[in-house]
Amino acid sequence: MHTTKKTAIGLACAAAITANAHADQTVTIGYSGPLTGQVAHIGKDAENGVRLAIDEANANHITIKGEPVHFQIDSEDDAADPKTAVAVAQKLVDAKVNGMVGHLNSGATIPASKTYASAGIPQVSPSATNPVLTRQGFATAFRVIGDDSYVGRVVAQYLARTKGFRRVAIVDDRTSYGQGLADVVASELKAAGVEVVDREFVSDKTIDFRGILTAIKSKDAQAIFYGGVDAQAGPLRKQMSALAMRMPLVGSAIETDKFVELAGSAAAEGTVSAESGQPLGSMPQGKTFEEKFEKYGPVVLYAPYAYDATWALINAMKLADSTVPAEYLPAMKKVDFEGVTGRIAFDSKGDLRAANVTLYSVKDGKFSPMSTVALK
Please tell me the distance from the alpha carbon of residue 124 to that of residue 99, in angstroms, as a whole number.
8
The domain covering 2-145+281-345 belongs, at the CATH homologous superfamily level, to Response regulator (3.40.50.2300)
Instruction: List, by residue range, all CATH 3.40.50.2300 domains of the chain.
Output: 2-145+281-345, 149-276+357-375
pLDDT of residue 12: 46
Give the containing element (helix H, strand E) for 50: helix 40-59
Give pTM, 2 decimals: 0.85
DSSP state of 158: I
pLDDT 10s digit of each residue in the chain, 376 long?
444 444 444 444 444 444 444 445 899 999 999 999 999 999 999 999 999 999 999 999 999 999 999 999 999 999 999 999 999 999 999 999 999 999 999 999 999 999 999 999 999 999 999 999 999 999 999 999 999 999 999 999 999 999 999 999 999 999 989 999 999 999 999 999 999 999 999 999 999 999 999 999 999 999 999 999 999 999 999 999 999 999 999 999 999 999 999 999 999 999 999 999 899 999 989 999 999 999 999 999 999 999 999 999 999 999 999 999 999 999 999 999 999 999 999 999 999 998 899 999 999 999 999 999 987 6
Three-state secondary-structure class, residue 204:
coil
Torsion sign over Cα 97, 101, 103, 109: positive
* CATH architecture of residue range(s) 149-276+357-375: 3-Layer(aba) Sandwich (3.40)
pLDDT of residue 15: 43
Please tell me the distance from the alpha carbon of residue 51 to that of residue 188, in angstroms, as a whole number.
38
